[in-house]
Amino acid sequence: MSTHSRPKRPVTPSPPDPAHILVIDVGGGHVKFRMGPRGRIRKLVSGPDMTAADMARRIRKLAAELPYEAVAIGYPGLVFRGRIAAEPFNLGPGWVGYDFEKALGRPVRVVNDATMQALGSYEGGKMLFLGLGTGLGATLILDGAVEPMEIGHMPYKHGRTFEDYIGERGRERLGNKKWRKAVAEVVARLKEVLEADYVVLGGGNAARLKALPECARLGDNLNAFKGGLQLWRGDDPRAASMARRQRAAAPSGTAR
């Protein structure tokens, strides 16, 4: 084996140096990644044919020269206790059960992509984060306790889901003007039902809003990278519950 090859099951101190954490934000149109808080953001095209193995192979090639010690992945789908629990709606197959640690050669923590951006957006109190992208991601954070939610696929009205209205499919079907109105209605309804103090709107389509709904503020997609770093911070109360759940649930060889 080459002296430069990565070990199959490396041992990394916890928490690792933030400057050497590779954060991967997986989306239906692009995958973006960055090492550390100030690294250059790189991206690759994803799409409905991209499998987990495809992504890992391409990331490994593009990040070959980066000395990363740990990996955080934001995944656009259901993640239960640090493990991918359902195949994505907007990507190819093969994500459930895929061994990212083996493929990338470093310890890995996985959360829903909306959760990762929510962690980087949180400023206290009870926050609802909605990611307006290819789909609709949602996470609720209450006094540091993090609760990912699958609101996007819940029935909304006229036999359609919330994602059918304010995800990308909804924008294409309704047109921008009606889509913006739908976003405002959904934000108001969810804020009231969940009794959130404020709502943060992130994701690529958030920039298409001409005016923000009441009690909502615009997020920043860079917050996904901040949130990924927090997943590996043992001293951060906002990520502590997520980390404990992952360590408790993950058997040997899975994301921790």
Greater model confidence, 1 or 227: 227
pLDDT in the model for residue 249: 42
Residue 35 φ then ψ, to 5°: -100, 125
pTM: 0.79
pLDDT digits (tens, 9 = 90+) for 147-175: 988 899 899 999 999 999 999 999 999 99
Going by the DSSP 8-state scheme, the letter that residue 211 receives in this structure is S
pLDDT in the model for residue 244: 47
| Averaged pLDDT for residues 72-93 | 92
Residue 226 φ then ψ, to 5°: -65, -45
pLDDT digits (tens, 9 = 90+) for 111-149: 999 999 999 999 999 999 999 988 898 999 999 899 988
Greater model confidence, 45 or 246: 45
- Tell me, what amino acid is at 193? V
Q: Which of 125, 59, 131, 118 is nearest to 90 (CA)?
A: 131
Residue carrying the six token digits 């994803």: 46
pLDDT in the model for residue 15: 80
Whether the pLDDT of residue 236 is over 60: the answer is no
CATH value of 122-218 in 1.20.1300.10, 3.40.50.300, 3.40.50.1260, 3.30.420.40: 3.30.420.40
Q: Are 163 and 147 in contact (CB under 8 A)?
A: no
Confidence band (pLDDT; 50, 70, 90) for 233? confident
Show Cβ contacts of residue 181 under 8 Å, excluding neighbours closer than 6 positions.
Answer: none
Peptide bond into 15 cis (omega under 30): yes
Confidence band (pLDDT; 50, 70, 90) for 235? very low
Is the Cα torsion angle 174, 184, 140, 238 positive or negative in sign? positive
pLDDT in the model for residue 234: 58
Length of the chain: 256
Greater model confidence, 255 or 202: 202
Q: How far apart are the first and last CA of the chain?
A: 26
Q: Where are the alpha helices (DSSP H) in the chain?
A: 52-62, 100-104, 113-121, 162-166, 168-174, 176-194, 223-230, 237-249
Supply the angle between the helices 113-121 and 237-249 in degrees, to the nearest 10.
150
| Averaged pLDDT for residues 22-29 | 93
Confidence band (pLDDT; 50, 70, 90) for 3? very low
pLDDT in the model for residue 246: 45
Whether the pLDDT of residue 254 is over 50: the answer is no
pLDDT in the model for residue 131: 92
Domain with CATH 3.30.420.40 in the chain: 18-115+223-249, 122-218
pLDDT in the model for residue 223: 93
CATH value of 18-115+223-249 in 3.40.630.10, 3.20.20.70, 3.30.420.40, 3.90.1150.10: 3.30.420.40
Torsion of CA 37, 234, 125, 141, to 10 degrees: 90
> CA separation (Å) from 164 to 74, 109, 137, 151?
22, 29, 12, 11
Angle at CA 98, nearest 5°, toward 97 and 100?
130
